[in-house]
Amino acid sequence: MRFLTVLLSCSVTIVTAAEPRPRLLEPTALDREVDAAVARGVSFLMKSQRPNGGWLIDQYQGETTSAAALAMMACLAAGHVPGDAPFDATLQRGLQYILDHQRPDGLLVDHHGHGPLYCHGISTLFLAEVVAMTHGSQAAECRRALERAVALILDAQAVEKSSRHAGGWRYLARSNDSDLSVSAWQLLALRAAKNAGCDIPADAIDRAVEYVKQCSPSNGRGFAYQPGQAASSSMTAAGITALQVCGMRDEPLAKTGVDFLQQRLPKSTEPYYLYGMYYTAVAMHHHGGEAWEQTQPTVFRELLRRQQADGGWPAGNAAEAPLGRVYSTSLALLALTVEYGYLPIYQR
């Protein structure tokens, strides 16, 4: 299959330096602003770690594995890895927090949160990104946890569903319906796990890709939360990213999605604004070329404008407001660091 050929031909370089990757051109004023903002933001997140090693999601008045995974991925994306100062102990404790909250069935989730597969997909993605950076007994534990987490994702996809929902994922491992938001995180996790050496069946990815395509409206412009619904900026960015990480950057729906997104960048009034900005940065950077050159200054300057004096980002509005500043700061940093190229999943 074309997808499998593309996937197996990909090579990934893991960079472990603690400073932003040297740029080919002289840094611009915007580059320097981004670097300074990233340093302040990472410091804010690392200081926000809870005594038990996790990070807080305000809405649930407690820690979640997804909050820990997002915070630590932001740290990794900025060039900090386990074993290096100054955040080694923080990352080690955070990783152990996630490992300690894996359930017997492989699910990576604690008792807080909405939609266990959200937590699981994001946490699995983090494990796949960090597994090659760990050492000693924790490295072996991380590898075992990743393999069990991947198995659960594949089992959840195999649950019998109607043709409208087949191939995707939803909130629960036994859900018989699907949505693009949860599905995109599972695809990112599977692709990262493939990079890390896990055995990912090609047909599982092929079925997931078909579900993503079904989420594009009949006019082929953009992507929706579920098949048959209207396209939105945030879901279009997620849909493009899902196709790109599967080696389908040149898929027509990905290209028309980029056109749609250029005309409808996420607005601060939208309920999932930061979520949309994160996926927009990832999707447009991966697409590259003129689309990224035009989008990058707008996305970066808007995010920089919102950073607060202590290095964090405000909690957002509407649906994102209850999630708190760890969530918002993590997504802002993951968007701002896409050009650094440290996380394998975001490398072109």
- For residue 234, give the CATH number of its domain: 1.50.10.20
Domain hosting 152: range is 2-6+28-346
pLDDT digits (tens, 9 = 90+) for 36-67: 999 999 999 999 999 999 998 887 767 899 99
Evaluate if residue 244 carries a pLDDT over 80.
yes
pTM score > 0.85 for this model?
A: yes
Count of other CB atoms within 10 angstroms of residue 250: 10
To 10 degrees, what angle do helices 180-195 and 233-245 make?
Answer: 30
Does 164 reside within a domain?
Answer: yes
Does 22 reside within a domain?
Answer: no
Does 23 reside within a domain?
Answer: no
Averaged pLDDT, 28-43: 97
Dihedral, 105, 175, 110, 318 alpha carbons, nearest 10? 160
Structural domain count of the chain:
1
Does 152 reside within a domain?
Answer: yes
Does 14 reside within a domain?
Answer: no
Q: What are phi and psi of 347, to 5 degrees?
A: -80, 140
pLDDT digits (tens, 9 = 90+) for 145-195: 999 999 999 999 999 999 999 999 999 999 999 999 999 999 999 999 999
Does 309 reside within a domain?
Answer: yes
Q: Residue 9: which pLDDT band, with cuts at 50, 70 and 90?
A: very low
Does 236 reside within a domain?
Answer: yes
Does 15 reside within a domain?
Answer: no
pLDDT digits (tens, 9 = 90+) for 100-152: 999 999 999 986 556 899 999 999 999 999 999 998 889 999 999 999 999 99
**Bigger pLDDT: 271 or 4?**
271
To 10 degrees, what angle do helices 273-287 and 325-336 make?
Answer: 20
Q: Residue 1: what pLDDT?
A: 26
Averaged pLDDT, 328-332: 98
